[in-house]
Amino acid sequence: MQLARVIGTVVATVKADNMEGLRLLIVQPLTRQLQPAGQAVVAADAVEMAGPGELVFIVGAREAAEAMPNRFVPVDHAIVGIVDAVSELRR
């Protein structure tokens, strides 16, 4: 999973059949210092309450579909959690 920030939304009327009703957000992946890393992607919101600017973590590839109510969806990135805190571990 990867840390990311919600930065936008996508509106699409024409979609593959099994994508109807999914909330699609644009998220920017982040480093652990919460700096942008790589390209923004379009992710389905599996927690259904990720808001603008929120720090989340996303899952990619086949596992993204496992987060959705219907597992057989063409979704390759999903928001699966809203981050409360990121902490450094020390021995």
- 34-63 positions binding its own copies, by CB under 8 A: 37-44, 46-47, 49, 51-53, 57, 59-63
The two three-digit tokens of residue 3, written as one number: 């840390």
Residue 76 near residue 60 (C-beta atoms within 8 A): yes
Does the footprint of its own copies cover residue 81 (CB under 8 A)?
Answer: yes
Does the footprint of its own copies cover residue 10 (CB under 8 A)?
Answer: yes
∠ CA 57-29-2, nearest 5°, is 40
Cα–Cα distance for residue pair 54/33, rounded to 1 Å: 15
Does the footprint of its own copies cover residue 21 (CB under 8 A)?
Answer: no
Does the footprint of its own copies cover residue 71 (CB under 8 A)?
Answer: yes
For 85, half-sphere exposure in the C-beta direction (CA atoms, 13 angstrom radius) is: 3
Residues at the interface with its own copies (CB under 8 A): 1-3, 6-16, 18-19, 24-26, 28-29, 31-32, 37-44, 46-47, 49, 51-53, 57, 59-67, 71-78, 80-91
